[in-house]
Amino acid sequence: MTQPLLSVDELTVTFTGRGRRDVQAVSGVSFSVDQGQVVGLVGESGCGKSVTSLALMGLLPDRGVRVGGRAEYDGTDLFGLSPSRRRALRGSQLAMIFQDPLSSLNPVVPIGVQVTEILARHRGMKGEAARKEAASLLDRVGIPDPRRRLKEYPHQLSGGMRQRALIAMAVACAPRLLIADEPTTALDVTIQAQILELLKELVDQEGTALLMITHDLGVVAGLCDEVNVLYAGKVVESAGRRDLFAAPTHPYTHGLLNSIPRLDAPRGEPLHPIRGSINDNIAWADGCAFAPRCDFYTLECLAGTPGLSEPRAAGHQVRCVNPVLPGSAGATGGTTGGTAGLEKTEATS
Amino acid sequence: MLRLVVRRLLQLIPTLLGLSVLLFVWLNRLPGGPAAAMLGERATEADRIRIEAALGLDQPLYVQYGRFIKRLFELDLGTSSQTGQPVWEEFTQRFPATVELALFAILIAVAVGIPLGYFAARRRGSWLDVAAVSGSLLGICIPVFFLAFLLRAVFAVQLGWFPSFGRQTTGINATEVTGFFVLDGVLTGEWDASWDAVMHLILPALALASIPLATIVRMTRASVLEVLGEDYVRTAESKGLDRRVIRGRHVLRNAMLPVVTAVGLLTGSLLSGAVLTESVFAFGGIGSFLRTAIDGRDYPVLVGFILFIALTYVIINLLVDLAYNLIDPRVRVH
């Protein structure tokens, strides 16, 4: 078995502010990405998925942030590299696509320059050669009339075109690992599908590994081979795509699946959001962070951090004391009786 | 671009006409008047009428105004009631000094202020940042004339590094072409004359630059801090670009937009605000002339000066608009 292209081991990211309490945004995340594989990092806003991607790219600010754990890319320890080595790696080997295409493009610089600057930096291309390559990159991501677009500014492009331009920049140097942080959230549904199709195509053609960060399980279903579900800075469930959708085991994954509105649901059928918000959690050290929002929790949930286990199939890991197994309590209905008990416990402690 | 310039120049005409009417009416409502100022307290009524007739002040206002506008187009701003010389000549003798001083001051403010503001933002919270922020507060607080006295006392009188007054060492044999002494020296190849003029400029320009410098440091710092948090800077970082490219193309180019506007307005205010600095260094610009004009209610001079200041503001605004047009494609007129 060959080693994975990227392997992340016990990654922690802590924001330290002067005179403020430290906040651990990512607390021990481990996963790996193989060459040509699409791996999803799924969770609500605030679960630490974007921070994980920024930490891997080395884009977190130098001060006020502490990064721990290991991240190995192709055998080299990313966090041990000098800033200039990391800079050389960024854009050439590791590339990233961001969420909001308008704010992610420089408003006062033509699209062409924003593409050619990366060619100049990593591939030493200049002048007409660089412009020609930039045009063919824009063409490849499906931007019509690329020669003319090179001279245009971001505000002159549509949302979908802007995201295509950003993708063109990201793939300009044929990176081996592409990180996409919610690349479709700011776009129309029809455009979303096109962009996902484009990403799929690029991954299939080039054998690029893709780390897909999203809150949208629809995106996961359409694209990912492996899925890691994150909650409050920890992986709570990790499985192959089929496994995850066929038999979601963590109550949180259940909740995520149930909160997707269904087109074929009867009229007037209420939606099933997960109760509370990600701020209603407890520290992982005291137990399961999801317990206060969980429909299945028991007192055992508060006995320290639950570990990852494989209750059902090999490779399908879940961090839960009371995993939702087939035949156990109805996943959709759930009980609320347990919550009152938890509040009592918190009040006495 | 050319169409924009022409359009903005045409917009200038109603602005200046409106201003001239306002000025004219306002000045005529002031108590006293030039005749009284020229004649002193013990003038007779007959003297006053005679002088007013000679100056045309006995005509109806609209006639006086019509004449004023007509002469304006002939670059004839009238005659100073103080010196008896044409206002246009009085101005052309003094403007170059003031303009040279103001430009030099703004040049210092920009050349020092923008890098200082940038690095203060980049190293937020460092000693450099703290020094820049508190130093600029000091720069805004200290009255300009006091700073001028201080600089003159220390660097000119005590240390003798710079001349203490004037625009030129007396006796220097310099050819005058434009009246801008630094430029004249360059044009005629008289380099020591240019250098001499620069040495005379440094202290007054430093004093005059204090407020614009402080303003530019603070604005640049705030603007850079804002831009550093923008998504496109993160994108640029994710591309692994050189620091130099990120700084110039992605951070400064965006951060400069508000600073350009500020520099324009500051330059305008320097031209009218140079008065005190000029008098400390006996610089011979428009400052002292204007002061006597105000004391003597020298209408033609005052009207001419205010029109000049308005004109420079409008022109500077035009330049700022053009600069904006170059930097920011979003405001471009198609």
pLDDT, one tens digit per residue, over B209-230 is 999 999 999 999 999 999 998 9
What per-residue confidence (pLDDT) applies to A262? 75
List of chain A residues whose C-beta atoms are within 8 Å of the C-beta of residue B236? 106
Candidates A59, A103, A106; nearest CB to B250:
A106
Superfamily designation of domain B95-331: MetI-like (1.10.3720.10)
What per-residue confidence (pLDDT) applies to B333? 56
pLDDT for residue B31 is more than 70: no
Q: State the nearest Cα–Cα gap between B155 and chain A, in angstroms.
A: 42
Sheet-wide strand order for A209-214: A94-97, A177-181, A209-214, A38-42, A226-231, A234-240, A317-318
Tell me, rounded to whole angstroms, the distance of Cα B147 from its chain centroid: 18
The string of pLDDT tens digits covering residues B54-91 is: 777 777 778 888 877 787 777 777 777 777 788 888 88
List of chain A residues whose C-beta atoms are within 8 Å of the C-beta of residue B245? 117, 121
Do A13 and A48 form a contact (C-beta atoms < 8 A)?
Answer: yes
Contact A90 B330 (CB under 8 A): no
Establish if A103 touches chain B: CB-CB under 8 angstroms: yes
Q: State the nearest Cα–Cα gap between B113 and chain A, in angstroms.
A: 23
Candidates A107, A155, A169; nearest CB to B239:
A169
Task: Name the DSSP class of B172.
Answer: -
What per-residue confidence (pLDDT) applies to B161? 87
**Residue B261 CA: distances (Å) to CA of B133, B151, B167, B210, B220:** 21, 29, 30, 18, 12
In this structure, the number of other CB atoms found within 10 A of the CB of residue A14 comes to 16
* Cα-Cα-Cα-Cα dihedral sign, residues A158, A159, A164, A168: positive
Do B27 and B7 form a contact (C-beta atoms < 8 A)?
Answer: no
Contact B240 A153 (CB under 8 A): no
Candidates A89, A98, A113; nearest CB to B231:
A98
What per-residue confidence (pLDDT) applies to A109? 92
CA distance linking residue A243 with residue A234, whole number of Å: 20
Closest-CA residue to B133 (of B261, B263, B222):
B222
Tell me the β-bridge partners of A94: A90, A177
CA distance linking residue B123 with residue B121, whole number of Å: 5
Contact B249 A106 (CB under 8 A): yes
Sheet-wide strand order for A65-73: A23-33, A6-15, A65-73, A76-77
What per-residue confidence (pLDDT) applies to B30? 63
CA distance linking residue A329 with residue B113, whole number of Å: 68
- List all residues 6 or more positions away from A66 whose beta carbon is below 8 Å from its beta carbon: A12, A13, A14, A16
Written as six digits, the tokens of A114 are 């924003």
Written as six digits, the tokens of A26 are 């990512």
List of chain A residues whose C-beta atoms are within 8 Å of the C-beta of residue B240? 87-92, 118, 121-122
Closest-CA residue to A50 (of A164, A238, A179, A156):
A179
Task: Reduce the DSSP state of residue B30 to 3 states and report it.
Answer: coil
In this structure, the number of other CB atoms found within 10 A of the CB of residue A246 comes to 12
Q: State the nearest Cα–Cα gap between A121 and chain B, in angstroms.
A: 6
Contact A107 B329 (CB under 8 A): yes
B238 vs A297, more confident: B238
- List all residues 6 or more positions away from A99 whose beta carbon is below 8 Å from its beta carbon: A181, A182, A183, A185, A186
Candidates A59, A103, A122; nearest CB to B238:
A59
Average pLDDT, 10 consecutive residues per value, chain A (349 residues): 83 83 86 90 86 91 87 90 90 90 91 92 89 90 89 89 90 90 83 86 88 88 89 89 86 85 77 77 81 83 81 80 66 39 37
What per-residue confidence (pLDDT) applies to B38? 65
How much is the pTM?
0.79
Contact B330 A92 (CB under 8 A): no
Contact B232 A90 (CB under 8 A): no
Do A160 and A187 form a contact (C-beta atoms < 8 A)?
Answer: yes
CATH of domain A1-71+176-238: 3.40.50.300
Establish if A301 touches chain B: CB-CB under 8 angstroms: no
Closest-CA residue to A157 (of A183, A179, A138, A140):
A138
B241: nearest CA partner in chain A? A121
Domain ranges of chain B: 2-73, 95-331
What per-residue confidence (pLDDT) applies to A334? 40
Q: How many CA atoms lie within 13 A of A119 on its CB side?
A: 21
Written as six digits, the tokens of A19 are 């005179």
What per-residue confidence (pLDDT) applies to A227? 92
Alpha helices in A70-188 (DSSP H): 83-89, 111-123, 127-140, 146-149, 159-171
Do A58 and A86 form a contact (C-beta atoms < 8 A)?
Answer: yes
Q: State the nearest Cα–Cα gap between A155 and chain B, in angstroms.
A: 7
CA distance linking residue A195 with residue A160, whole number of Å: 8
A153: nearest CA partner in chain B? B329
pLDDT for residue B100 is more than 60: yes
- One-letter amino acid at A255 equals G
What per-residue confidence (pLDDT) applies to A344? 37
A208 vs B29, more confident: A208
What per-residue confidence (pLDDT) applies to A347? 38
Tell me what the pLDDT averaged over chain B comes to. Answer: 82
Which of B223, B233, B235 to mutate to probe the A interface, most A CBs <10 Å?
B235
CA distance linking residue B229 with residue B85, whole number of Å: 59
pLDDT for residue B334 is more than 60: no
List of chain B residues whose C-beta atoms are within 8 Å of the C-beta of residue A92? 240
Contact A113 B241 (CB under 8 A): no
List of chain A residues whose C-beta atoms are within 8 Å of the C-beta of residue B235? 98, 104-106, 166, 169
List of chain B residues whose C-beta atoms are within 8 Å of the C-beta of residue A162? none
pLDDT for residue B41 is more than 90: no
Q: State the nearest Cα–Cα gap between B120 and chain A, in angstroms.
A: 15
Establish if A107 touches chain B: CB-CB under 8 angstroms: yes
What per-residue confidence (pLDDT) applies to B60? 79
What per-residue confidence (pLDDT) applies to A333? 40
Contact B328 A117 (CB under 8 A): no
- One-letter amino acid at B42 equals R
Task: Name the band, by pLDDT with cuts 50, 70 and 90, for residue B28.
Answer: low
% of chain B surpassing 70 pLDDT: 94
Do A224 and A38 form a contact (C-beta atoms < 8 A)?
Answer: yes
What per-residue confidence (pLDDT) applies to A338? 36
What per-residue confidence (pLDDT) applies to A339? 36
**Residue B57 CA: distances (Å) to CA of B38, B67, B120:** 13, 11, 58
**Residue A7 CA: distances (Å) to CA of A11, A47, A111, B150:** 10, 20, 34, 65
Closest-CA residue to A31 (of A56, A62, A65):
A56
Candidates A95, A106, A153; nearest CB to B232:
A106
CA distance linking residue A68 with residue B300, whole number of Å: 75
Which of B238, B252, B330 to mutate to probe the A interface, most A CBs <10 Å?
B238
**Residue A26 CA: distances (Å) to CA of A9, A12, A302, A341, B213:** 12, 5, 20, 29, 44
- Taking any CB pair shorter than 8 Å as contact, residues of chain B touching chain A are 230-232, 234-242, 245, 249-250, 253-254, 327-330
List of chain B residues whose C-beta atoms are within 8 Å of the C-beta of residue A155? 329-330
Q: State the nearest Cα–Cα gap between A78 and chain B, in angstroms.
A: 14
List of chain A residues whose C-beta atoms are within 8 Å of the C-beta of residue B241? 91, 117-118, 121
The beta strands (E) that lie in chain B are given as none
